[in-house]
Amino acid sequence: MEKRPTIARIWRGRTRPEVADSYQAYNYEVGIKPLIEKALGVQTFREDRDGESEFMTISYWENFEAMARFTGGDPDRIHHLPRDAEFLIELPEHVQILHLLTRDGVTG
């Protein structure tokens, strides 16, 4: 039986525009590639605004247990990459965890 996602985990971080391209490449190599190997699906987004660029990563998980295995026990735990402090305006303190709903409004 194919595993289906029931949980979405959303991370957001902001950089200065002049380092956004470098962070995008770094984040993909060090953060996104390993995540792709663990999650059921991953989407990444970037929005460039005056004075900052925001990155968002959404990963999809079968359940809380699978997400907890990835995070080392606490699904809310942030995984800061080694160079995040160099690139990010501020280190995010939390992630957002959402239940995916089916078409009839029931959790995944």
CB atoms within 10 A of CB 31: 21
Residue 50 scores a pLDDT above 90: yes
In the chain, the number of structural domains is 1
Average pLDDT over residues 57-79: 87
pLDDT of amino acid 52:
98
CA distance 96 to 7: 10
pLDDT exceeding 70 applies to what percent of the chain? 94
Is residue 105 in some structural domain?
A: no
Lowest-pLDDT choice from 3-7, 61-65, 101-105: 101-105
Is residue 87 in some structural domain?
A: yes
Is residue 107 in some structural domain?
A: no
| Per-residue buried b or exposed e for 97-107, using 16+ beta carbons within 10 Å of the residue's own CB | eeeeeeeeeee
Is residue 47 in some structural domain?
A: yes
Q: Can you give the CATH number for the domain in which 35 is found?
A: 3.30.70.100
Is residue 108 in some structural domain?
A: no
pLDDT of amino acid 79:
82
Average pLDDT over residues 29-43: 95
Average pLDDT over residues 54-83: 89
CA distance 99 to 108: 7
Is residue 53 in some structural domain?
A: yes
pTM of the shown model: 0.90
Structural domain boundaries, residue 52: 7-99
CA distance 56 to 33: 15
Is residue 67 in some structural domain?
A: yes
Greater confidence, 101 or 23? 23
Is residue 35 in some structural domain?
A: yes
